[in-house]
Amino acid sequence: MSVASDAAVRPSGRDAVTWYAYLLLGYYAFIVGLQGNILPFLREELDLSYRDVSLHTSAIAAGVMLVGFLGDRAIRVLGRRHNLVAATLGSAAAMVLLTLAPVVSLSIAACFLFGVIGSLIPVIVQAVFADLEGQRRNVAIAESNAMACVFSTAAPVITALCVWLGSGWRMAVLAGVAAGLVILTSFYRLPIPEGGSARKAGDAPLPLAYWWYWAALGLGVAVEFAAILWAPAYLEQVVGLDPSAAAIAATAVFAGMLVGRVSGAALFRMFPIRNLFFAAAATVFVGFVAYRGSIEPAVAIGGLFVLGLGAALLFPLTLTFAINAAGPAAQRGSARVMIASGLAILLGPPLLGTIADHAGLAMAMMMIPLFMVLSVGAFVLGEATRRRTARAALPD
């Protein structure tokens, strides 16, 4: 039996390929989650400006976008299995380079290298799940995002523990590298379904409905990052908490996202996913009203938790819609969603920062509901396009 045909007969449970995909995606999320925690240490050691610090995140985003443009071609040439090996080893090497970088040019280069090589991992994982059918695909996407959220939430905890024990931030990075290598060593001989549909799709264009869901996904990522990156500053400057209390209170958004992602798989089984999208959007709006509308710390922090709870479901839901809409071109669609994520990460934070500089941080936060409204609008247009295409395909 060919590897390409294995996808059709894979068992409905979580087989070895599924666990390999879950764990590698968790490793990738852990390394990404480390960035915000280790950059302050890097800034102090290398005497960096805030602009230099921001370039590290921009470098990762640029690498992610490059993978969005070229990743599917690399996968077709080398295959999923070999690309996963290369992505894990390459991303691990990039992180080791970051720990050794004596100057800012090398640390930025290491971040770019991680973005352009490591981001093949989510592309391939999403393509593997695209080979599944119906409910299995939806649940696999939800569960993999829950795994990623658990790993990314562990990143600041591991960093804080390493610093507290005197091992330094580098030990947290090396712990993540070691975890990735252990996962790779445990599974690297495992055959990975290559996906016959990806080859049949050739260079056929992705349908219009896919691009509307793609836009909804990018705007959802913008909601998520706007809440995460600016919560400490908002709670300090607008709500009035002292810096340490604001930093601790800002973890409410991570707690909300963790609960939302972990419960996502069960929700995907229980409710129609299109209804879940509107429920998630409504939850974001409710949370934002409490977060932005009150200077009472308990209300604002509770609102931030609810906002994170709703935002947690936006990415797995819109990713599911996009992959479903891509049809046989799902592998290419999986790569292209990285462009949407990269653009949101690259452009969203500077946009909010510019508004905050000119109109204040409270006004900048109004971009969160605007991003959410635009995401809902893109989703509605995607749904309308999908239905119109389905009606046109019916026989007369």
| Predicted pLDDT of residue 107 | 92
Q: Residue 369 and residue 292: Cα distance in Å, rounded?
A: 10
For the ranges 30-39, 148-157, 160-169, the lowest mean pLDDT is seen at 30-39
Q: Kindly write down the DSSP assignment for every residue of 290-354, as one continuous string.
A: HHHH---HHHHHHHHHHHHHHHHHHHHHHHHHHHHHHGGGHHHHHHHHHHHHHHHHHHHHHHHHH
Q: Spell out the residues 6+ positions from residue 188 whose beta carbon is closer than 8 angstroms to its own.
A: 81, 84, 85
- Per-residue confidence at 181, pLDDT binned at 50, 70, 90? very high
In tens, the pLDDT along 374-392 reads 999 999 999 999 999 888 7
- Per-residue confidence at 95, pLDDT binned at 50, 70, 90? very high
Q: Are 286 and 306 in contact (CB under 8 A)?
A: yes
Q: What b-and-e string marks burial along 324-340, b requiring 16 or more CB atoms within 10 Å of the CB?
A: bbbbbbbbbbbbbbbbb
Q: Residue 209 and residue 127: Cα distance in Å, rounded?
A: 18
Residue 110, pLDDT above cutoff 80:
yes
Number of neighbouring beta carbons within 10 Å of residue 134? 8
Q: Are 116 and 66 in contact (CB under 8 A)?
A: yes
| Domain 12-191, CATH among 1.20.1250.20, 3.90.180.10, 3.90.950.10, 3.40.50.2300 | 1.20.1250.20
Query: Which stretch, 221-225, 288-292, 342-346, has highest mean pLDDT?
Result: 288-292
The tokens describing 177, both together, are 């590298």
Residue 189, pLDDT above cutoff 50:
yes
For the ranges 62-66, 190-194, 252-256, 280-284, the lowest mean pLDDT is seen at 190-194
| Predicted pLDDT of residue 9 | 38
Q: Kindly write down the DSSP assignment for every residue of 124-155, as one continuous string.
A: HHHHHHHTS-HHHHHHHHHHHHHHHHHHHHHH
- Per-residue confidence at 12, pLDDT binned at 50, 70, 90? very low
DSSP category for residue 2: -
Residues of the chain with CATH 1.20.1250.20: 12-191, 208-391
| Predicted pLDDT of residue 70 | 86
| Predicted pLDDT of residue 396 | 58
- Per-residue confidence at 337, pLDDT binned at 50, 70, 90? very high
- Per-residue confidence at 48, pLDDT binned at 50, 70, 90? confident
Q: What is the mean pLDDT of residues 242-261?
A: 86
| Predicted pLDDT of residue 134 | 66
Residue 10, pLDDT above cutoff 50:
no
Query: Which stretch, 11-25, 59-73, 340-354, 372-386, has highest mean pLDDT?
Result: 372-386
To the nearest whole number, what is the mean pLDDT of the chain? 86
Higher pLDDT, 302 or 54: 302
Q: Are 337 and 217 in contact (CB under 8 A)?
A: yes
In tens, the pLDDT along 193-212 reads 876 555 555 566 899 999 99
For the ranges 95-99, 187-191, 312-316, the lowest mean pLDDT is seen at 187-191
Residue 65, pLDDT above cutoff 80:
yes
Residue 136, pLDDT above cutoff 60:
yes
CATH of domain 208-391: 1.20.1250.20
Residue 346, pLDDT above cutoff 60:
yes
Residue 347, pLDDT above cutoff 80:
yes
- Per-residue confidence at 11, pLDDT binned at 50, 70, 90? very low
Residue 357, pLDDT above cutoff 50:
yes
